[in-house]
């Protein structure tokens, strides 16, 4: 079936539909990872976004049972040059289009993704829509224009459940994960390090978190605008001086706000698995996984309290902070990887050590 | 150690070239050596170059400060060292020849005598990578596996090991140059003969009997590391031909196509750990892996602690100048201190993201070697290779086949002497065309996969080319519709090929039709970053999209 990818400026790309049919709008961003499409699709941080893969051949190894990173596929749409009609892997259980179909997500192939990427690089992230079947161009552009802008929107409540749950009950120390849209690999890495993992929705009142008597708190990654969830920042403000805290991605943006920091939107964000980040304390460089459209403004943080621990070597943006008095640290990249290089999992060891020292 | 950029305690660096062109060691090492000369002189070092082969770019008068066209033997090198008194020796850019000479010079005490420091990879690292037993020990230290094996000094020992491991078995005679005499035994009779021959070939009468991973998927990673331990993978390569065909003789594809991120990352981490454990201090290394297609079991096959044949491919495939960067790392720079020439704004400390598919096809010249059998085994036989870039595997493959200058116009029908299933199962230079013949004769993808052990993903893509050809043929003597012609061009068919398939007068007729339809080649940039950053190097490939 034919399908169209429509940009808010009126540009229309024609392609073929795969996965679910229908229409979906979202912010269009590109990801430069060459493997890991399944984990990307399942990442709750992509809520509200249509993902363009810059690598042209997608779906080659199908979909596996193990590489599931959340309860469902969260991306609003998926744009590729070519979806493989065959999948080959001893672990694969189904093809990519079936996964998208099952989760009601529209995909489009046959798109010149390179042209699209260069456009996004130059113009910045834009609103776009995928429409399957025959459609009137004017109407499609109208719909895209009218679709919501993710700046200022609380997307966390759209991806997080209402109830707390234990990921693992084994372990001598208990960690509460404040769930803004956590990926399962974060939970796996915590429990592998011998910690009891209780996942609580980010909006849980801080008193309820305290009642659980945690030994540490992890603030997870999540979708959308970090300035749109003041209630989570408020909660966090009441917890941050009581426990060791580790923030990932969206988590760093919330923690920074607790200490008076401000966030801003990047032109087209960082989405990929090859970003060099330098640990300023050790001088070591890690190849990191990144997926963020917003960023903490370094200059809005009080240097007396907050230390910059990591920076991105591509554009010198802020990648990590630590509090000078409290055992609180956070990074903008994804040490839990999946997909991408596991170079920075040492941060989970650092968190475990903090939790155990408490 | 604090960040301090390049070393100022060394001034004069000796570089060893790779000598004569032989199978497995050709112009790629002239390329890497030349790059290194330029990079080192750019940094103000005095370069002393030794190479016995005058037919190289690196020995052109303005490449090095001092150039010696002398035999590459330790005695002569010792004399040059005595005369030139270099501060350092960089052995990792001149192929296996340079590494072997470095080992000999170290063992003879020459380097110590004249206070020459080996930079890049030192004696211990070279030995750990080269010596099979040391390599096995080193790999196992990192928690990874090599194929099970045992060393034998006589036929009885060899038979014992064979009984333990089961057939087929790989026999590698010890201490022969470049794996000469390596063979595969499928049964006890063959084994007795080949083991006996191997024992005789080895100067120390030693053979390594190794569990065969024939038919497993084969992969290679190109890794770079700096003196602070920062490591990046420049390029991942998947072999179309499974284990059993030398990498130099295999059709290879970049990046990897059929590994999930989980498996790819496990391989990437393994490659970096091995490089650390072997002790390659700075520069590039190439690490080869085999993966069991049934359960994903991974084994480490070998590692080259130097810039290799594959590094040249990886450089061209990604736009990342491996040899140049390796030279800069050897003199003390770290990856974050070297700019990425292509983006100018970002550092060389990153992993290239590519947004196209690269196919390498080896070129053979069996006519010139009448005594060698036209079959591909574990010792290399190809005399060159071509590389092409396309947006899909199909497009890149067709372009590469045309580039071979073997008069192939793509994945097509050619006259073949063998019976089809034999040609598919026995790896030879024309295996691709036997697969084509197999499709014509109604072999299914699964049947071909079973007898060739080639991954179904590749076979399916080949079948798509064959199906497209059949579709084009339908328009014999008729006008080709827009959609069919566009698809054919996207699949990498040439105008001439389309003209032949449809009985047109010549390629001009197809070209004119294309122009009428507005189907024209576009040019896309090779920029190391999949379009994420602006690029300044004019390196393009053509494609139809």
CATH number at residue A225: 3.40.50.880
The catalytically annotated residue of A249, A295, A323, A337 is A249
Q: Is the pLDDT of residue B537 over 80?
A: yes
pLDDT at B175: 67
pLDDT in tens, A177-186: 999 999 999 9
Domain stops at, among A122, A146, A170: A146
Which residue range forms the structural domain that includes residue A91?
Answer: 2-146
pLDDT at B468: 98
DSSP string, B250-282: S-EEES-SS--HHHHHHHHHHHHHHHHHHT--S
Contacts of A184 (CB under 8 A, 6+ apart): A68, A69, A70, A338
Share of chain B above pLDDT 90, in %: 80
Please tell me if residue B393 touches chain A, with a CB cutoff of 8 Å. Answer: yes
Same domain? A22 vs A113: yes
pLDDT in tens, B320-340: 999 999 999 999 999 999 999
pLDDT at A329: 98
pTM: 0.95
pLDDT grade for B380, boundaries at 50, 70 and 90: confident
Residue B159, judged by CB atoms within 10 A of its CB (0-12, 13-18, 19+), counts as: middle
Nearest-angstrom CA–CA distance, B239 and B427: 13
- Provide the H-helix boundaries in B244-385: 261-278, 309-318, 322-330
Same domain? A89 vs A218: no
Q: Is the pLDDT of residue B179 over 80?
A: no
- For residue B464, the chain A residues in CB contact (below 8 A) are 85
Nearest-angstrom CA–CA distance, A178 and A219: 5
Q: Is the pLDDT of residue B73 over 90?
A: yes
For residue A343, give the chain B residue with the closest CA.
Answer: B269
pLDDT in tens, A68-87: 999 999 999 999 999 999 99
Q: Is the pLDDT of residue A316 over 70?
A: yes
pLDDT in tens, A234-266: 999 999 999 999 999 999 999 999 999 999 999
Over chain A, what is the mean pLDDT? 96
Domain stops at, among A105, A120, A146: A146
pLDDT grade for B2, boundaries at 50, 70 and 90: very low
When CB atoms are compared, the residue of B260, B350, B393 closest to A274 is: B350
pLDDT at A261: 95
CA B264 to each of CA B220, B257, B276, B529: distance values in angstroms, whole numbers, following the listed order: 11, 10, 19, 19
Same domain? A137 vs A235: no
Please tell me if residue B345 touches chain A, with a CB cutoff of 8 Å. Answer: yes
Active site includes A334?
yes
Q: Hey, which bits of A220-304 come out as E strands?
A: 245-248, 263-279, 285-296
Q: Is residue A151 part of a domain?
A: no
Same domain? A171 vs A245: yes
Contact (CB<8Å) B460/A85: yes
Active site includes A336?
yes
Angle between helices B431-440 and B456-473 (to 10 degrees): 60
Please tell me if residue B542 touches chain A, with a CB cutoff of 8 Å. Answer: no
Q: Is the pLDDT of residue B4 over 90?
A: no
Domain stops at, among A146, A165, A188: A146
Rounded to a whole number of angstroms, the distance from the CA of A132 to the nearest CA of chain B is 20
pLDDT grade for B1, boundaries at 50, 70 and 90: very low
The answer to whether residues B290 and B510 touch, using CB atoms and an 8 Å cutoff, is no
- Average pLDDT estimate for A138-158: 95
Same domain? A103 vs A195: no
In b/e form, how buried is each residue of B361-380, taking b as 16+ CB within 10 angstroms? Answer: bbebebeeeeeeeeebbbbb
Higher per-residue confidence, B72 vs B172: B72
With tokens 């540009």, the residue in question is A11
- DSSP code of B339? B
- For residue A83, the chain B residues in CB contact (below 8 A) are none
Closest CA to A233 of A159, A180, A291: A180
pLDDT grade for B177, boundaries at 50, 70 and 90: low
Active site includes A16?
no
User: Strands A106-109, A12-19: parallel, antiparallel or unpaired by DSSP?
Assistant: antiparallel
Nearest-angstrom CA–CA distance, B186 and B212: 10
- For residue B353, the chain A residues in CB contact (below 8 A) are 32-34, 54-55, 272, 274
B105-113 contact pairs (CB < 8 A, 24+): B105/B74, B105/B77, B105/B78, B105/B81, B108/B74, B108/B78, B110/B74, B110/B77, B110/B78, B110/B81, B111/B81
Q: Is the pLDDT of residue B166 over 90?
A: no
Please tell me if residue B295 touches chain A, with a CB cutoff of 8 Å. Answer: yes
Number of folded domains in chain A?
2
Share of chain B above pLDDT 70, in %: 98
The answer to whether residues A301 and A321 touch, using CB atoms and an 8 Å cutoff, is yes
Nearest-angstrom CA–CA distance, A189 and A167: 11
Please tell me if residue B530 touches chain A, with a CB cutoff of 8 Å. Answer: yes
Over chain B, what is the mean pLDDT? 93
Contacts of B154 (CB under 8 A, 6+ apart): B199, B205
Please tell me if residue B235 touches chain A, with a CB cutoff of 8 Å. Answer: no
Q: Is residue A241 part of a domain?
A: yes
When CB atoms are compared, the residue of A54, A64, A86 closest to B260 is: A64
The answer to whether residues A288 and A341 touch, using CB atoms and an 8 Å cutoff, is yes
Phi and psi for A318 in degrees, rounded to 5? -70, 130
Q: Is the pLDDT of residue B291 over 60?
A: yes
Same domain? A106 vs A174: no
Same domain? A110 vs A208: no
Which of A61-65, A306-310, B79-83, B148-152 is predicted least confidently? B148-152
Same domain? A252 vs A323: yes
Contact (CB<8Å) A91/B260: yes
pLDDT at B374: 82
pLDDT at B132: 77
When CB atoms are compared, the residue of A38, A66, A342 closest to B265 is: A342
pLDDT at B81: 98
pLDDT in tens, B56-68: 999 999 999 999 9
User: Strands B12-16, B88-90: parallel, antiparallel or unpaired by DSSP?
Assistant: parallel
- Average pLDDT estimate for A147-158: 94
- Average pLDDT estimate for A270-282: 96
Rounded to a whole number of angstroms, the distance from the CA of A40 to the nearest CA of chain B is 11
Q: Is residue A330 part of a domain?
A: yes
- Provide the H-helix boundaries in B319-430: 322-330, 393-403, 420-425
Distance of alpha carbon B64 from the chain centroid: 27
Same domain? A75 vs A222: no
Same domain? A125 vs A217: no
pLDDT at B367: 80
Maximum average pLDDT range among A57-66, B88-97, B125-134: A57-66
Same domain? A36 vs A164: no
Q: Is residue A260 part of a domain?
A: yes
Nearest-angstrom CA–CA distance, A212 and B270: 40
Which of B201-215, B288-302, B430-444 is predicted least confidently? B201-215
pLDDT grade for B378, boundaries at 50, 70 and 90: confident
Omega before residue A339 within 30° of 0, cis: yes
Please tell me if residue A334 touches chain B, with a CB cutoff of 8 Å. Answer: no
Q: Which two tokens stand for residue A340?
A: 């991408």
Q: How many CB atoms lie within 10 A of CB B487?
A: 16
pLDDT at B180: 67
Same domain? A201 vs A127: no
The answer to whether residues A7 and A128 touch, using CB atoms and an 8 Å cutoff, is yes
Q: Do the interacting molecules here have an ipTM over 0.90? A: yes
> Which CATH number characterizes residue A59's domain?
3.50.30.20
Nearest-angstrom CA–CA distance, B312 and B235: 11
Helix (H, G, I), strand (E, B) or coil at B504: coil
């Amino acid at each position: 079936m034919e399908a169209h990818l429509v940009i808010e400026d009126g540009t229309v790309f024609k392609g073929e539909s795969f996965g679910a049919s229908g229409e979906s709008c979202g912010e269009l961003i590109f990801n430069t990872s060459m493997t890991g499409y399944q984990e990307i699709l399942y990442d709750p941080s992509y809520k509200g976004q249509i993902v363009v893969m810059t690598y042209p051949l997608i779906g080659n190894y199908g979909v596996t049972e193990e590489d599931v990173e959340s309860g469902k596929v969260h991306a609003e749409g998926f744009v590729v040059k070519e979806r493989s009609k065959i999948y080959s892997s001893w672990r694969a259980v189904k093809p990519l289009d079936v996964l998208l179909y099952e989760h009601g997500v529209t995909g489009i192939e046959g798109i010149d993704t390179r042209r699209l990427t260069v456009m996004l690089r130059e113009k910045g992230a834009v609103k776009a829509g995928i429409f399957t079947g025959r459609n009137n161009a004017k109407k499609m552009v109208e719909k895209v224009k009218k679709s919501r802008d993710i700046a200022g929107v609380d997307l966390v409540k759209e991806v997080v459940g209402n109830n707390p749950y234990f990921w693992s009950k084994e372990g001598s120390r208990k960690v509460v994960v404040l769930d803004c849209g956590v990926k399962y690999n974060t939970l796996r890495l915590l429990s592998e390090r011998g910690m009891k993992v209780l996942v609580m929705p980010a909006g849980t009142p801080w008193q309820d978190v305290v009642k659980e008597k945690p030994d540490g708190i992890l603030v997870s990654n999540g979708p959308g605008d970090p300035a749109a969830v003041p209630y989570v920042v408020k909660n966090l403000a009441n917890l941050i001086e009581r426990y060791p805290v580790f923030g990932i991605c969206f988590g760093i943006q919330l923690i920074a706000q607790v200490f008076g920091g401000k966030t801003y939107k990047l032109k087209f964000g960082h989405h990929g698995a090859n970003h060099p980040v330098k640990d300023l304390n050790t001088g070591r460089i890690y190849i990191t996984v990144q997926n963020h459209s917003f960023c903490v403004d370094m200059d809005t943080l009080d240097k007396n309290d907050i230390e910059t621990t990591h920076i991105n070597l591509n554009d010198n943006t802020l990648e990590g902070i630590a509090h000078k008095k409290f055992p609180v640290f956070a990074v903008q990249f994804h040490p839990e990887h999946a997909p991408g290089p596991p170079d920075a999992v040492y941060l989970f060891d650092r968190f475990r050590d903090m939790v155990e020292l408490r | 150690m604090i960040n301090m950029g390049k070393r100022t305690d060394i001034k004069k660096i000796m570089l060893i070239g790779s000598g004569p062109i032989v199978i497995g060691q050709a112009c790629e090492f002239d390329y890497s050596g030349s790059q290194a000369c330029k990079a080192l002189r750019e940094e103000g070092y005095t370069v002393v170059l030794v190479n016995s082969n005058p037919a190289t770019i690196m020995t052109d008068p303005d490449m090095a400060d001092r150039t010696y066209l002398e035999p590459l033997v330790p005695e002569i090198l010792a004399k040059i060292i005595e005369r030139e008194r270099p501060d350092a020796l960089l052995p990792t850019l001149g192929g296996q020849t340079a590494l072997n000479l470095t080992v000999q010079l170290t063992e003879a005490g020459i380097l110590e005598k004249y206070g020459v420091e080996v930079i890049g990879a030192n004696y211990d690292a070279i030995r750990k990578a080269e010596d099979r037993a040391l390599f096995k020990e080193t790999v196992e230290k990192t928690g990874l596996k090599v194929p099970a094996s045992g060393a034998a000094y006589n036929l009885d020992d060899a038979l014992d090991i064979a009984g333990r491991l089961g057939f087929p078995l790989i026999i590698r005679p010890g201490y022969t140059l470049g794996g000469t005499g390596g063979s595969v035994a499928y049964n006890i009779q063959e084994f007795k003969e080949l083991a006996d021959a191997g024992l005789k070939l080895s100067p120390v009468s030693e053979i390594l009997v190794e569990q065969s991973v024939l038919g497993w998927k084969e992969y290679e990673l190109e890794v770079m590391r700096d003196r602070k331990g920062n490591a990046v993978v420049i390029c991942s390569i998947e072999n179309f031909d499974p284990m059993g065909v030398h990498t130099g003789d295999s059709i290879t594809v970049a990046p990897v196509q059929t590994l999930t991120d989980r498996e790819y990352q496990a391989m990437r981490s393994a490659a970096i750990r091995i490089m650390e454990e072997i002790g390659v201090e700075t520069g590039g290394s190439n690490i080869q892996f085999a993966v069991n297609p049934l359960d994903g079991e991974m084994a480490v096959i070998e590692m080259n602690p130097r810039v290799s044949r594959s590094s040249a491919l990886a450089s061209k495939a990604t736009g990342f100048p491996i040899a140049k960067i390796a030279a800069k790392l050897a003199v003390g720079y770290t990856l974050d201190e070297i700019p990425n020439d292509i983006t100018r704004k970002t550092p060389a400390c990153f992993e290239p993201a590519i947004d196209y598919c690269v196919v390498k096809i080896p070129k053979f010249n069996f006519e010139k070697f009448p005594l060698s059998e036209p079959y591909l085994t574990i010792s290399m036989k190809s005399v060159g290779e071509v590389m092409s870039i396309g947006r899909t595997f199909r497009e890149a493959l067709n372009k590469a086949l045309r580039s071979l200058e073997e008069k192939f116009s793509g994945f097509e029908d050619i006259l073949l002497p063998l019976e089809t299933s034999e040609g598919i199962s026995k790896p030879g230079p024309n295996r691709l065309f036997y697969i084509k013949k197999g499709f014509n004769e109604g072999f299914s993808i699964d049947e071909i996969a079973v007898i060739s052990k080639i991954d179904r993903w590749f076979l399916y893509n080949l079948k798509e080319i064959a199906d497209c050809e059949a579709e084009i043929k339908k328009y014999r003597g008729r006008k080709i519709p827009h959609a069919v012609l566009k698809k054919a061009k996207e699949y990498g068919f040439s105008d001439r090929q389309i003209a032949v398939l449809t009985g047109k007068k010549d390629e001009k007729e197809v070209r004119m039709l294309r122009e009428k339809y507005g189907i024209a080649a576009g040019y896309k940039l090779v920029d190391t970053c999949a379009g994420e950053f602006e690029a300044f190097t004019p390196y393009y490939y053509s494609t139809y999209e």
